[in-house]
């Protein structure tokens, strides 16, 4: 199935609107996608809130985070995207968000782990990246390639990472995947926090994570979610 530039750009716009509508993004955060024909390029909006993203606000970047097409102020944190696309050829879409439910994990370092069947898509346990470790006191934004590369190393081969005192990233093969993983991460964060307040949760077993991940984040369940989101927010 060939994907055109038009389709990918439309997905980036939709992805921003969907995650804004779902409360995963607010004034800040962003969704990007890799260029379908040139793996060394990606699409990301110029600086604006996710709800205001449109085809007109999209910029095209190279993997050094330099604008190669489009006009306007780029996000300071474009290096999150450029360095993940550089390190992970399998990734087609990157989300950076500050969903309220995952922020207490980002603040306390509490391990975020799958606590319900759909939570399996975040991976067995979400790694933490702390800008303090390599960069000391900063503005806490990922504002240069070195910081982006460091974050990409923490992400490793996984789908998600938490940024201490800051937020999270989610990656997927496509925009529907990165959006779905972001929504499930938000839900898993809320459920886990509430379950930990109530008692001692049973997390998914390693086997359940593996098997659930193969079924629940692909095929009809994933299509169903994307169709639903596009109808509601498209």
Candidate residues 76, 133, 146, 234; the one interacting with a second copy per rule CB under 8 A: 76
Q: Assign residue 57 a region (left: φ > 0; alpha: ψ between -120 and 50; beta: otherwise).
A: alpha
Q: Taking the mean position of all CA atoms in its chain, how far away is CA 45?
A: 15
**Interface with a second copy: number of residues (CB under 8 A):** 69
Candidate residues 100, 146, 156, 234; the one interacting with a second copy per rule CB under 8 A: 100
Report if residue 199 touches a second copy, rule: CB under 8 A: yes
Report if residue 68 touches a second copy, rule: CB under 8 A: no
Q: Helix or strand or coil: residue 58?
A: strand
Catalytic residue flag (residue 7): no
Report if residue 10 touches a second copy, rule: CB under 8 A: no
Report if residue 139 touches a second copy, rule: CB under 8 A: yes
Report if residue 54 touches a second copy, rule: CB under 8 A: no
Separation CA 93–CA 11 (nearest Å): 10
Report if residue 197 touches a second copy, rule: CB under 8 A: yes
- Measured from the CB atom, the residue of 68 and 232 that comes closer to a second copy is 232
Separation CA 175–CA 194 (nearest Å): 29
- Catalytic residue, chosen from 22, 77, 173, 210, is 77
Report if residue 221 touches a second copy, rule: CB under 8 A: yes
Candidate residues 62, 70, 110, 124; the one interacting with a second copy per rule CB under 8 A: 110
DSSP secondary structure string for all residues of 161-196? EEETTTEEEEEESSHHHHHHHHHHHHHHHHHHHHHH
Site string for a second copy, 173-192 (x = CB under 8 A): ----------x---x--xxx
- Measured from the CB atom, the residue of 22 and 83 that comes closer to a second copy is 22
Structure token pair of residue 134: 């390599």
Report if residue 144 touches a second copy, rule: CB under 8 A: no
**Strands 93-97 and 67-69: what pairing?**
unpaired
User: Which residues have C-beta within 8 Å of that of residue 126, sequence separation ≥ 6?
Assistant: 105, 111, 112, 113, 158, 160, 161, 162, 168, 185
Q: Taking the mean position of all CA atoms in its chain, how far away is CA 178?
A: 6
Point out which residues bind a second copy (CB under 8 A): 27-28, 47-49, 51-52, 73, 76, 98, 100, 103-110, 115-118, 132, 136-141, 164-167, 183, 187, 190-205, 207-208, 210-212, 214-216, 220-221, 224-225, 227-229, 231-232
The residues that are catalytic are: 77
């Amino acid at each position: 199935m060939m994907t055109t530039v038009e389709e990918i750009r439309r997905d980036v716009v939709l992805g921003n609107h969907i995650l804004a509508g779902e409360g995963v993004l607010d004034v800040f955060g962003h969704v990007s996608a890799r260029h379908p024909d040139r793996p060394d390029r990606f699409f990301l909006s110029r600086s604006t809130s996710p709800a205001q993203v449109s085809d007109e606000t999209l910029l095209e970047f190279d993997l050094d985070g330099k604008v190669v097409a489009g006009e306007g102020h780029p996000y300071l944190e474009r290096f999150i995207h450029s360095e993940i696309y550089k390190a992970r050829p399998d990734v087609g879409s990157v989300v950076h968000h500050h969903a309220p439910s995952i922020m207490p994990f980002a603040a306390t370092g509490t391990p975020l782990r799958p606590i319900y069947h759909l939570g399996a898509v975040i991976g067995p346990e979400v790694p933490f990246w702390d800008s303090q470790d390599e960069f000391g006191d900063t503005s806490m934004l990922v504002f240069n390639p070195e910081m982006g590369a460091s974050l990409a190393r923490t992400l490793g081969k996984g789908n998600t990472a938490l940024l201490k005192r800051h937020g999270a990233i989610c990656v997927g093969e496509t925009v529907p995947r990165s959006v779905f993983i972001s929504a499930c991460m938000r839900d898993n964060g809320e459920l886990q926090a509430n379950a930990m307040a109530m008692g001692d949760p049973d997390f998914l077993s390693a086997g359940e994570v593996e098997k659930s991940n193969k079924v629940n984040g692909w095929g009809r369940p994933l299509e169903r979610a994307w169709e639903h989101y596009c109808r509601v927010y498209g």
